Amino acid sequence: MDRIKVSARNIVKRFGTTLAADDVSLDIRDGEFLTLLGESGCGKTTLMRIIAGLETVDSGSIHIDGQDVTALSPRERNLGMVFQQYSLFPHMSVAENIGYGLRVKRKGEQEIRATIDEMLELVRLPDLRERRPAQLSGGQQQRIALARALATRPSLLMLDEPLGALDLKLRRQLQAELKRIHRQSGTTFLFVTHDQDEALFLSDRVAVMRAGRIEQLDDPTRIYCNPVNQFVADFVGSVTLLECEYDAARGGIALEGGGFVPMPLEHAPRRITLVVRPENVQLTPAGGGDGLACKVEDIAYQAGTTLYTVRLASGAALISRDLGAPSPAFALGGDARAKLSNCTVAFPHQGMN
Amino acid sequence: MSTATERNRNWAIWALLGPGLVFIAGLLLVPIIDMTVISFRGESFGQILPGFTLANYASLVRDSTYAQIFLQTFAAAALVTVLCILLGFPVASLIADAPARWRGLLYFLVAAPLLVNTVVRTYGWLLILGRKGVINETLTWAGAIDQPLALSGNYIGLIIGGTQVFLPFMILSIATSLIAIDRCLIESSTILGAGPVRTFLEVTLPLAMPGVIAGSVLVFSLMLGAFVTPLILGGTAVKYVSVAVFTDALVLFNLPRATALAMVLLLAVLLLYALQKRALRRFEYYA
């Protein structure tokens, strides 16, 4: 059993008539990288700010390291935070920024200097000590902000879409950096993003949020492969949900409009929902093969992979992802066969909404 | 090479700028040059004499009353500036912290006194500060004082009146700086463990300095040149440069000395603006 670092219990928060937190409970384990994922306005940032103490709660409680901090101000919670906007103090050098929290906490001059060195080493920017924030690139600023937040050895480091203002390439780079820094520092990370790729790539666990509630809290593979409802399935990755019947006698799934996918399941209800991702669909030329008959509606080439959109007889559209350039075997409007493999199932069917 | 459309646009720009430029040259540049010339002329029984002389400036240096006038004027301007900073900062913070939709109203409330003519406003202060004014009458009625307090016709009246007149400029200037401070800077400081006082001194104040400096230069130079307030609220007890210029020019008809006084004041203000530019450069964090 993992130790619980932060525990939010039955948090309720209202802004006017909108419910930003609707009786939310969340346990963050010691040392994990947990991400709150959702669209803007789903309450993910509010939940983080409540944990930080930057927002008050209408009801509910926050415990950090077993201590009830609900009534404590942010400065008494020993936390770190990195914002989406560049939040370095513009009138201080990089070193002064990193040392700020330590000076506030009245650490010795020697310790402060040593920690600044250590943090600059951790974010791999040892040569920027005397620079001003305005002289740094966006990516560098966010890494220094990370160093500043980690310098005080916080119980929990919160990151509010810290890569949101950066371009895609830099984002990818910093995601890898973030993962390494998380491992190396051993600090518990609470991350907020609306980018599902980012969430799955970075996190030990992901909480998918909607309208002030957590829809599913799971590790990334389960979020992707076993979404608990349509919202989670739709939100994370490209997906087609096929409602179908489970045929226990034949050990597989009968699709609407014909077609059968062999797929032995235990304890499956009769009506189930099949989660079909682009990588689960193999396209073969019409004629031979045992896949489902379909028509090719669109072919799109995307750096290294080709996405085929096909429509089944039942009217459902599937997307198939293939490595390499578009195959001459498939033409727009032409017939093909789609074979489903390694699909997963969303349970329970009744719960889908 | 410029195309026909570009040439047309240039013409349009000059045509639009023209009236304004003529206005500025005619009504600002010409009088200043005229003033400069007159300040080097001699004077006899209200007549401006031809020829060049430094006598006007020399008399300013020689006569110690002028040193006193300048000292009192600069001291009053400095005191009003400091009071405006102290009184204006909290109001500016209030505006900056208010939701954006309330700011328009707050700005209006701050600027509203500017809609009333300075002379009217200053006489208003006389009704409050005078010997038979609201304050003295109230205090006498309450039995707190036997003799009315001397709140006008002296330095106190000048400072109170000047502060009220120029406070809006300071508030608006500081508020502009405060609004530009991203909230996440303040929140970062708090999360890093700093209390409100520390956050104010280490984050808010340094970042608000451009506004404080700009506001100070504005208020200081406006107060240096103030005329109605020292005349009405300062009375005869206060020696003020602008009042001295008025006396020299329109009572004693000594225009050369009046212009020499005005030139010194003008140079002081210009020097101040130069210093402001240098001071502001220190606070250009985002460049």
Q: So what's the pLDDT on residue A245?
A: 83
Average pLDDT, chain B: 90
Q: Cβ(A13)–Cβ(A58) under 8 Å?
A: yes
Q: Does A134 touch chain B (CB under 8 A)?
A: yes
Which among B191, B202, B285 has the least Cβ separation from residue A52?
A: B191
Q: Where are the domains of chain A?
A: 4-234, 238-351
**Domain range A238-351, CATH architecture:** Beta Barrel (2.40)
Q: Which of B191, B203, B206 sits opposite A74 (nearest CB)?
A: B191
Would you call A45 helix, strand, or coil by DSSP?
helix
Compare all CA atoms of chain B with the CA of A105 and give the residue at the minimum distance: B193
- Per DSSP, what are the bridge partners of residue A310? A296, A318
Q: How far apart are CA A146 and CA A184, in angstroms?
A: 13
What is the ipTM, given to two decimal places?
A: 0.84
Which residues of A are less than 8 Å from B202 in CB distance? 89, 100
Provide the shortest C-alpha distance from residue A199 to chain B (in Å). Answer: 23
Contact assignment for A75 to B194 by CB distance below 8 Å: yes
Residues B181-237: tens digit of each pLDDT: 999 999 999 999 999 999 999 999 999 999 999 999 999 999 998 998 898 888 888
Tokens of B45: 């029984």
Q: For position B171, what pLDDT does the model report?
A: 97
Answer whether B207 sits within 8 Å of A152, measured CB to CB.
no
Written as tens digits, the pLDDT of chain A (353 aa) is 579 999 999 999 999 889 999 999 999 999 999 999 999 989 999 999 999 999 999 999 999 999 999 999 999 999 999 999 889 999 999 999 999 999 999 999 999 999 999 999 999 999 999 999 999 999 999 999 999 999 999 999 999 999 988 898 899 999 999 999 999 999 999 999 999 999 999 999 999 999 999 999 999 998 988 888 888 988 887 888 888 888 888 888 887 766 777 777 777 778 888 888 888 888 888 876 677 888 999 999 988 899 999 998 888 889 999 888 888 888 888 888 888 887 777 665 444 43
In this prediction, residue B2 carries a pLDDT of 60
| Short-list A207, A235, A205, A222, CA closest to A48 | A207
Q: Report the distance separating Cα B80 and Cα B151, nearest Å.
A: 16
Q: What whole-number distance in Å separates Cα of residue A160 and Cα of residue A166? A: 13
* Phi, psi (degrees; rounded to nearest 5) at A101: -60, -35
Residue that has been written with the tokens 């204006």 in this structure: B88
Q: Answer whether A4-234 and A238-351 agree in fold.
A: no
Residue B49 has a pLDDT of 82
Crossing angle for the helix pair B155-179 and B100-111, nearest 10 degrees? Answer: 160
- pLDDT value at position B17? 92
DSSP three-state, residue A193: strand
Q: Which chain A residues have a beta carbon less than 8 Å from that of B194? A: 75, 100, 104
* Closest by CA position to B38, among listed B259, B249, B264, B251: B259
- What one-character-per-residue DSSP string does chain B give? ---HHHHHHHHHHHHHHHHHHHHHIIIIIHHHHHHHHHTTSEEETTEEESS---HHHHHHHH-HHHHHHHHHHHHHHHHHHHHHHHHHHHHHHHHHHS-HHHHHHHHHHHHGGGGS-HHHHHHHHHHHHSTTSHHHHHHHHTTS-SSPP--SSSHHHHHHHHHHHHHHHHHHHHHHHHHTS-HHHHHHHHHTT--HHHHIIIIIHHHHHHHHHHHHHHHHHHHHT--HHIIIIIGGGS--HHHHHHIIIIIS--HHHHHHHHHHHHHHHHHHHHHHHHHHHTT-TT-
| pLDDT reported for residue A347 | 61
B242 Cα to chain A: minimum distance (Å): 40
A83, B188 contact by CB (below 8 A): yes
Residues of chain B positioned with their CB less than 8 A from the CB of A105: 193
A87: contact with B, CB 8 A cutoff: yes
Q: A325, exposed or middle or buried, with CB in 10 Å at 0-12, 13-18, 19+?
A: exposed
| Degrees, nearest 5: CA angle A106-A107-A111 | 160
Shortest Cα–Cα distance, A223 to chain B (Å): 32
Nearest CB partner across the interface for A91, out of B184, B191, B285: B285
Strands A292-302 and A335-340: antiparallel
Residue A348, preceding peptide bond in cis (omega within 30° of 0):
yes
CA–CA separation, A129 and B31 (whole Å): 54
Angle between helices A168-185 and A138-151 (to 10 degrees): 20
Give the pLDDT of residue A104: 95
Q: Write out chain B residues lying below 8 Å of A104, CB-based.
A: 192-194, 198
pLDDT at B113: 87
CB-nearest to A105 from B193, B207, B283 is: B193
Please, are residues A292 and A317 in contact by the beta-carbon 8 Å criterion?
no
Residue of B182, B188, B202, B207 to mutate when probing chain A, most A C-beta within 10 A: B188
Task: Supply the DSSP symbol for A108.
Answer: -
Pick the CATH number of A4-234 from 3.40.50.300, 2.10.109.10, 3.40.1390.10, 3.90.1200.10: 3.40.50.300
* Domain residue extents for chain B: 62-281
Pairwise CB contact (< 8 Å): B194 & A134: no
Are A80 and B189 within 8 A, CB to CB? Answer: no
What are the φ/ψ torsions at residue A338 (nearest 5 degrees)? Answer: -110, 125
Q: Can you tell me which residue has the tokens 């909404």? A: A353
A163 inside 8 A of chain B by CB: no
- Nearest Cα to B249, choosing from B35, B24, B92, B20? B35
From chain A, the residues in CB contact with B191 under 8 A are 52, 54, 74-75, 77, 79-81, 149
Could A132 and B285 be called an inter-chain contact, meaning their C-beta atoms sit closer than 8 Å? yes
Fold of B62-281: MetI-like fold (1.10.3720)
Confidence band for B1, pLDDT divided at 50, 70 and 90: low
- Cβ–Cβ below 8 Å for A152 and B182: no
As given in the structure block, the two tokens for residue A252 are 């597989």
User: What distance in Å separates residue A89's CA from the closest CA in chain B?
Assistant: 7
CB contact under 8 A, B207 and A148: no
A134–B193: do the CB atoms touch at under 8 Å? no
- Is A194 an interface residue toward B (CB < 8 Å)? no
Query: Residue B84 in contact with residue B160, Cβ under 8 Å?
Result: no
Taking the model in full, what pTM does it have?
0.82
Residues from chain B that touch A133, judged by Cβ atoms under 8 A, are 285
The CB-based long-range contact list for A216-220 (8 Å cut-off, 24+ gap) reads A217/A26
| Cross-chain Cβ contact A74/B184 below 8 Å | no
Q: Residues of B at the A interface (Cβ-Cβ below 8 Å)? A: 182, 184-185, 187-195, 198, 202-203, 206-207, 283, 285-287
- What confidence tens digit (pLDDT) does each residue in B104-158 have? 999 999 999 888 888 898 888 989 998 888 999 999 999 888 888 888 888 899 9
User: Residue A100 in 3-state DSSP?
Assistant: helix
Cα–Cα distance measured from residue A343 to residue A280, given in angstroms and rounded to the nearest whole number: 6
